Amino acid sequence: MKYMMFVVTSLEPDAETDESDVDLWVDPLDASGKRVIGEVLAPQADSTVVKVRGGKVLTSRGPYVETAEVICGFDILEVEDLEEAIEIASRHPMARNGQLELRPFMVWDQ
């Protein structure tokens, strides 16, 4: 199963940040093939919102909504099941500094 793991951080964390080396999490998962890809995203202020209304393409800069939490990165995991994805996510430093959202890829009928 493939899972998108959103790495979410608070704009105002209420605890000391965990300075764990994320490479200690990344390297073994890359070597095992469980982590397909992962990236850190540019700040939300660099985002562009795109929508089409009345046949016109409208764009705006910056985040779409005001929020206290932002997606700051992602990883795609290829694992046996949700339990394995949870176990992997629980070892990520952001599990202690923010939160991780696991979302399965849609399985389409063949």
In the chain, the number of structural domains is 1
DSSP states along the chain: -EEEEEEEEESS-SSPPP---THHHHHHHHHHT-EEEEEEPPPGGG-EEEEEETTEEEEEES-SS--SEEEEEEEEEE-SSHHHHHHHHHTSTHHHHSEEEEEEPPPPP-
| Domain residue limits at 50 | 2-104
| 26-48 tens-digit pLDDT | 999 999 999 999 998 888 788 88
| 50-81 tens-digit pLDDT | 889 999 988 888 766 666 778 889 999 999 99
| CATH code, domain carrying 25 | 3.30.70.1060
The pLDDT assigned to 105 comes to 94
Domain-embedded: residue 73: yes
Domain-embedded: residue 55: yes
Give the pLDDT band of residue 86 (cuts 50, 70, 90). very high
Is a pLDDT exceeding 80 seen at residue 14?
Answer: no
